[in-house]
């Protein structure tokens, strides 16, 4: 009978018994150790196949001190940006035989540290995606999370590579684009308060203001999803701005939908820009002007950085900076003030 082990599953001992060898030999064969006599190896393999034996990964993990698994902590799995990062990460890691364990903090900053620690202990490394926790907290826990890679966040802690998108530059490019179209009253529909990428956008806008003192840039509270944009219609109309920089594509889409309901023409009356260039952006009506971010590439890069750390190839912990690319489509046009004198 096959079921010898306590768990009821077939273990290395069953194969050893069937092949008439020790478990050490079975282990050697399973791991491709060539010091085993070919004849015996064949017998072992045969027994393994017959019993449909597959090594227990938990046992291996304990013995080897590695799990072939990495973790990722995201603030919100419903956000297309994080979904794309996850996909890129999962794809790249899979090519090296690693699996991904996910942890969603549901935008609760206080949960992040716990989730991160827990995930890290089960894995060989961790990707922390746009964490909402404070700099101090991040810096404090970073060492215990090593190997660790950050996305859209940096830290003073040593040995933690960061992949950050230059949202500041991106938003400046968008603002320049609108200014170039004659818009002199812009409004920024901000993102979540704790978001570091929102801070970068604000810094970028500050730089823009300094270069263009004649352009008014008002700030409107917001968020990161459709509803935020949809609910911001009144605030946007009240602001009197003709060029709206939405926090991201989702917000822009919600806003466009709301303006459409009010009979406001885009870009006839108001020009709108998004951020991210999610796949949907080229299918909205009108198609959305935005700043394209190579999101899923970011996930792939995160794995490559993490892999280097896991393999202790950490020769270079240089941070990587991604430049968004301006994607001009139909949602932005000349300022109506320019058209109707």
Chain residues binding a copy of itself by CB under 8 A are 7, 52, 54, 56-59, 61-62, 65, 67, 69, 77-78, 83, 86-87, 90-91, 94, 99-104, 106, 117-119, 121-122, 144, 226, 230, 253-254, 256-257, 260, 279-280, 282-285, 287
How far apart are alpha carbons 330 and 266 in whole angstroms? 8
Three-class SS of residue 239? helix
- Which of 1, 2, 18, 23 forms a contact with DNA (CB under 7 A)? 23
* Residue carrying structure tokens 């896991």: 310
How far apart are alpha carbons 309 and 303 in whole angstroms? 10
Nearest to a copy of itself of 32, 65 (CB atom): 65
Q: Burial of 65 by CB count in 10 Å (0-12 exposed, 13-18 middle, 19+ buried)? A: exposed
The nearest distance, CB 279 to a copy of itself, in angstroms, is 6
Q: Mask: binding to DNA, 32-61, rule CB under 7 A, as x and -?
A: ---xxx-xxx-----------x-xx-xxx-
Contact between residue 293 and residue 322 where contact means Cβ atoms under 8 Å apart: yes
How far apart are alpha carbons 312 and 124 in whole angstroms? 12
Through-space distance between the first and last CA atoms of the chain, rounded to whole angstroms: 92
How far apart are alpha carbons 155 and 274 in whole angstroms? 28
Q: Is 24 in the site for DNA (CB under 7 A)?
A: yes
Q: Is 20 in the site for DNA (CB under 7 A)?
A: yes
The nearest distance, CB 63 to DNA, in angstroms, is 3
Strands 216-220 and 320-322: unpaired
The nearest distance, CB 37 to a copy of itself, in angstroms, is 28
∠ CA 189-190-191, nearest 5°, is 130
11 binds, among DNA, a copy of itself, none (CB under 5 to 8 A by kind): DNA
136 binds, among a copy of itself, DNA, none (CB under 5 to 8 A by kind): none
104 binds, among DNA, a copy of itself, none (CB under 5 to 8 A by kind): a copy of itself
Nearest to DNA of 19, 232 (CB atom): 19
How far apart are alpha carbons 242 and 244 in whole angstroms? 7
Q: Identify the DSSP state of 220.
A: E
Q: Is 211 in the site for DNA (CB under 7 A)?
A: no
Three-class SS of residue 191? coil
Candidates 63-71, 143-151, 183-191, 284-292: pick the segment binding DNA (CB under 7 A): 63-71
199 binds, among DNA, a copy of itself, none (CB under 5 to 8 A by kind): none
> How many residues does the structure list for the chain?
341
* Interacting residues toward DNA by CB under 7 A: 5-7, 9, 11-13, 20-28, 30-31, 35-37, 39-41, 53, 55-56, 58-60, 62-65
């Amino acid at each position: 009978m096959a079921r010898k082990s306590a768990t009821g599953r077939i273990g290395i001992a069953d194969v050893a018994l069937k092949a008439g060898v020790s478990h050490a030999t079975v282990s050697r064969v399973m791991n491709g150790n060539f010091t085993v006599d070919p004849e015996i190896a064949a017998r072992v393999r045969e027994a393994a196949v017959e019993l449909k034996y597959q090594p227990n990964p938990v046992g291996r993990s304990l013995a080897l001190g590695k799990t072939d698994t990495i973790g990722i902590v995201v603030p919100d799995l419903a956000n297309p940006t994080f979904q794309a990062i996850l996909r890129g990460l999962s794809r790249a890691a899979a090519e090296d035989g690693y699996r991904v364990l996910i942890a969603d903090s549901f935008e609760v900053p206080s949960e992040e540290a716990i989730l991160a620690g827990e995930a890290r202990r089960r894995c060989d490394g961790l990707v922390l995606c746009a964490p909402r926790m404070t700099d101090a907290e991040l810096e404090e826990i970073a060492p215990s999370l090593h190997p660790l890679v950050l996305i859209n966040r940096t830290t003073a802690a040593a040995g933690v590579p960061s992949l950050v998108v230059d949202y500041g530059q991106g938003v400046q490019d968008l603002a320049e684009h609108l200014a170039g179209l004659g818009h002199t009253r812009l409004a920024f529909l901000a993102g979540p308060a704790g978001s570091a990428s929102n801070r970068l956008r604000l810094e970028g806008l500050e730089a823009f203001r300094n270069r263009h003192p004649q352009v008014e840039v008002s700030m409107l509270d917001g968020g990161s999803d459709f509803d935020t944009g949809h609910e911001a219609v009144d605030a946007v109309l009240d602001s009197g701005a003709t060029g709206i920089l939405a926090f991201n594509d989702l917000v822009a889409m919600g806003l466009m939908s709301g303006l459409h309901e009010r009979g406001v023409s885009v870009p006839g009356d108001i020009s709108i820009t998004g951020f991210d260039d999610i796949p949907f952006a080229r299918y909205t009506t009108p198609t959305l002007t935005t700043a394209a971010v190579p999101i899923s590439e970011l996930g792939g890069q995160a794995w490559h950085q993490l892999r280097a750390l896991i393999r202790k190839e950490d020769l270079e912990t240089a941070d990587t900076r991604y430049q968004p690319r301006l994607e001009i489509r139909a949602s932005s046009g000349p300022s109506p003030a320019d058209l109707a004198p």
